């Protein structure tokens, strides 16, 4: 006979979802208005009852185990369906405009392909999307939700981590024809370089190349040359056109590698220490429309992480 679920199973599953979405006991506790210790205790009770670990406790982060991924795949859509049904029963609580501000490259490459799913799932919500560079200040009252790339620190706002970023060089295979082999960082001297001059909030113009080369132990390579752009997706299009070697962001690369339009000449990718976050004012999630879009973004990010596999081993 199957063992019946404990009376607190729904509470523990809700805590599990919060931790799985944030990959942080602390941020899950902030979302649920409970202590980090209470979050840890609820996860331990759930793991003990299941007889399986749901998270790996790594030195600086959490990671879902295979069992945790299976549970998330089952529980996340079920709870989302319940929340949708409740929203409909509340008589139009999810109807109206939600203002979303986002980085242009993230919008074009990551968000736009996913928006039809949001429209199909929550047809009453009307998004008002504004694309702005990270050079523009975040000012309260100008958005309901903002998506930004930074270190996760936003004074005066609350934030939820969506995706950790890692980077690696890419180029068109045509660029390699008739040139010296591109086997290591020192060979970059034979190739033009492409730069995203606004890589993240407050970054200097050559930040991505310098961060990458420092992480792989080749900081002496001169990268302050080449062509500069202020959009990552434009930089990628120039790389596809064969103009030079660019730094790709794992989050924003789609099928360019699978299709062969771009190749990654170096095997190593590195974490930048920067992360895409969804940002909002303190009381914004009290609005069910804003909370719904926030939770949908987090769920899409978790699904994207699971599909992409484990992150790079190299630290920033």
Other Cβ atoms within 10 Å of 42 Cβ, number = 24
Summarize pLDDT for 32-66 with one digit per residue, the tens. 888 888 899 999 999 999 999 999 988 878 899 99
In a domain, 84, yes or no: yes
Mean pLDDT throughout 211-227?
A: 91
In a domain, 155, yes or no: no
| pTM of the predicted protein model | 0.68
Q: Residue 8 pLDDT > 70, yes or no?
A: yes
DSSP state of 260: T
> For every residue of 80-120, which 3-state class applies, written as one string?
HHHHHHHHHHCCCCCCEEEEEEECHHHHHHHHHHHHHHHHH
Residues 80 and 180 in one domain: no
Alpha-carbon gap, residue 68 to 125, rounded angstroms: 31
User: Is the separation of the CB atoms in 168 and 269 below 8 Å?
Assistant: yes
In a domain, 265, yes or no: yes
Res 1: pLDDT: 39
Summarize pLDDT for 114-156 with one digit per residue, the tens. 999 999 888 889 999 999 876 567 787 889 999 998 887 888 8
Summarize pLDDT for 251-273 with one digit per residue, the tens. 888 889 889 999 999 888 898 88
The residue among 90, 120, 151 that closes a domain is 90
CATH of the domain at 177: 3.40.190.10
Number of domains in the chain: 2
User: Is the separation of the CB atoms in 64 and 307 below 8 Å?
Assistant: no
Q: Residue 315 pLDDT > 50, yes or no?
A: no
In a domain, 314, yes or no: no
Residues 170 and 258 in one domain: yes
In a domain, 15, yes or no: yes
In a domain, 172, yes or no: yes
CA angle 114, 146, 206 (to 5 degrees): 90
Q: Residue 232 pLDDT > 90, yes or no?
A: no
User: Domain range for residue 177?
Assistant: 164-273
Q: 23-27, 149-153, 180-184: lowest mean pLDDT where?
A: 149-153
């Amino acid at each position: 006979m199957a063992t019946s679920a404990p009376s607190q199973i729904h509470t523990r599953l809700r805590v599990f979802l919060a931790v799985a979405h944030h990959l942080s006991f602390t941020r899950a506790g902030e979302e649920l208005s409970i202590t980090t210790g209470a979050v840890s205790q609820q996860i331990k009770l759930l793991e003990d009852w299941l007889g399986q670990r749901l998270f790996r406790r790594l030195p600086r982060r959490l990671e879902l185990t295979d069992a945790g991924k299976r549970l998330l795949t089952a529980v996340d859509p079920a709870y989302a369906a319940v929340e949708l049904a409740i929203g409909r029963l509340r008589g139009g609580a999810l109807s109206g405009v939600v203002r979303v501000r986002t980085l242009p490259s993230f919008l074009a490459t990551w968000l736009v392909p996913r928006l039809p799913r949001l429209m199909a799932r929550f047809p009453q919500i009307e998004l008002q999307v504004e694309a702005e560079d990270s050079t523009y200040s975040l000012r309260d009252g100008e958005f309901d939700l903002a998506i930004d790339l930074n270190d996760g620190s936003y004074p005066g706002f609350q934030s939820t981590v969506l995706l950790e970023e890692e980077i690696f060089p890419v180029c068109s295979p045509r660029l390699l024809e008739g040139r010296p082999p591109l086997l290591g960082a020192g060979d970059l001297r034979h190739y033009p370089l492409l730069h995203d001059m606004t890589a993240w909030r407050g970054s200097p113009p050559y930040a991505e190349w310098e961060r990458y080369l420092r992480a792989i132990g080749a900081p002496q390579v001169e990268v302050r040359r080449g062509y500069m752009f202020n959009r990552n997706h434009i930089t990628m299009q120039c790389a596809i056109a064969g103009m030079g070697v660019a730094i790709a962001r794992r989050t924003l690369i789609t099928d360019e590698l699978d299709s062969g339009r771009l190749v990654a000449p170096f095997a190593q990718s590195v974490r930048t220490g920067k992360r895409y976050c969804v940002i909002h004012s303190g009381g914004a999630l009290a609005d069910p429309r804003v909370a719904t879009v926030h939770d949908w973004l987090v769920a899409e990010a978790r699904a994207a992480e699971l599909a992409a596999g484990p992150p790079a081993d190299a630290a920033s």
